[in-house]
Amino acid sequence: MTTPRNARTAAPAVGAAEPSAKPVERGIPEATVARLPVYLRALTGLSDTGVDTCSSEELAAAAGVNSAKLRKDLSYLGSYGTRGVGYDVEYLRYQIAREIGVTQDWPVVIVGIGNLGHALANYSGFSSRGFRIVALLDADPRRQGEDVGGLGIRPFEEIERLVEEHHVAIGVIATPAVAAQHVCDRLVAAGVTSILNFAPAVLTVPHGVDVRKVDLSIELQILAYHEQRKALADPGSDAVPDALPSGLAPLAADGVVSR
């Protein structure tokens, strides 16, 4: 059952007594955590349009999920709804924001100010959610000093100083792939414990450091897979040779025909 925070389950005793050994806390399921920001966004949207109360059905529609799933997700946070009525938009919004941590201020550094880094530095969605970009770093001297969104690009060497000075816990990597691991190491050494990686590279980090990756081309490739599948299954469509680019793979063509 994963004992919710203020769990006062009838059967105390037991369980959690284990000392440190447990690395992961039994908190909110990962899948739920990933959806909370979506709910938060949906609630903000409702709030902006003057709605002050909503049912799980309405909120689920706004967030694009199943209402049962939504209710179960919210139940991990606590009982913030009222049966027969629904949820108070502002109240729930605050509760989710608090649970995620966006009620506090998160200083962030971005490393690698190329095209993507520029876009990230100018992205308004960060600041409106408690993420404050405190430094932009780049190894290329030609970029240093340039002003991006009111912030100057600093030399990469200043990374330790800047991270410490601003108490940065979250770093964003938007460098080319070859530089990513080195940048990551420096960030971690400087004290960063959460990394958002846009470089197409696998990062290895010490225990206790979280990494999330966003790979633009991977998303497109996933779409391409399904697109290919659709084309193969739909005979009505033109295009797409049902005979895949032959030439190579003698046994491949044979193995794939779905017969």
Q: Would you tell me which residues interact with DNA (CB under 7 A)?
A: 1-5, 20-21, 23, 29-32, 54-57, 65-69, 71-72, 74-75, 79-87, 258
**Crossing angle of the two packed helices 89-100 and 30-48, in degrees rounded to 10:** 140
63 binds, among DNA, a copy of itself, none (CB under 5 to 8 A by kind): a copy of itself
| C-alpha span between 63 and 70 (Å, rounded) | 9
Minimum CB separation of residue 145 from DNA in Å reads 44
Residue with Cβ nearer DNA (6 or 124)? 6
> Do the beta carbons of residue 16 and residue 3 sit within 8 Å?
yes
**Rounded Cα–Cα distance for residues 117 and 253 (Å):** 42
User: Binders of a copy of itself among 66-95, rule CB under 8 A?
Assistant: 66, 78-80, 91, 94-95
CB of 76 to DNA, least distance (A): 8
Q: Give the shortest CB-225-to-DNA separation in angstroms.
A: 13
Out of a copy of itself, DNA, none, which partner does residue 68 contact, by CB within 5 to 8 A per kind? Answer: DNA
Check binding of 220 to a copy of itself (CB under 8 A). Answer: yes
Least separation, in Å, of the C-beta of 49 and DNA? 18
Q: Quick check: 150 binds a copy of itself (CB under 8 A)?
A: no
Q: Using the rule CB under 8 A, is 205 a contact of a copy of itself?
A: no
Q: Pinpoint the alpha helices (H) of 123-199.
A: 124-127, 159-166, 177-190
Q: Binding partner of residue 29 among DNA, a copy of itself, none, CB under 5 to 8 Å per kind?
A: DNA
Helix (H, G, I), strand (E, B) or coil at 14: coil
| 3-class DSSP state of 189 | helix
Name which of a copy of itself, DNA, none residue 220 binds, using a CB cut-off of 5 to 8 Å depending on partner kind: a copy of itself
Structure tokens at 26: 């039994």
Orientation of helix 56-63 relative to helix 30-48, angle to 10°: 100
By beta-carbon proximity to DNA, the closer residue of 85 and 177 is 85
32 binds, among a copy of itself, DNA, none (CB under 5 to 8 A by kind): DNA
Instruction: Locate 31 and state its tokens.
Output: 């899948």
Question: Rounded distance, CA 61 to CA 82, Å?
Answer: 19
Rounded to a whole number of angstroms, the minimum distance from the CB of residue 212 to DNA is 15
Q: What is the maximum span of the chain, computed from C-alpha positions, in angstroms?
A: 68
- Contacts with a copy of itself in 106-145 (CB under 8 A)? 106, 108, 114-116, 118-120, 122-123, 125-126, 129-131
Strands in 131-138's sheet, in edge-to-edge order, are 147-148, 151-155, 131-138, 106-111, 170-173, 194-197, 210-213
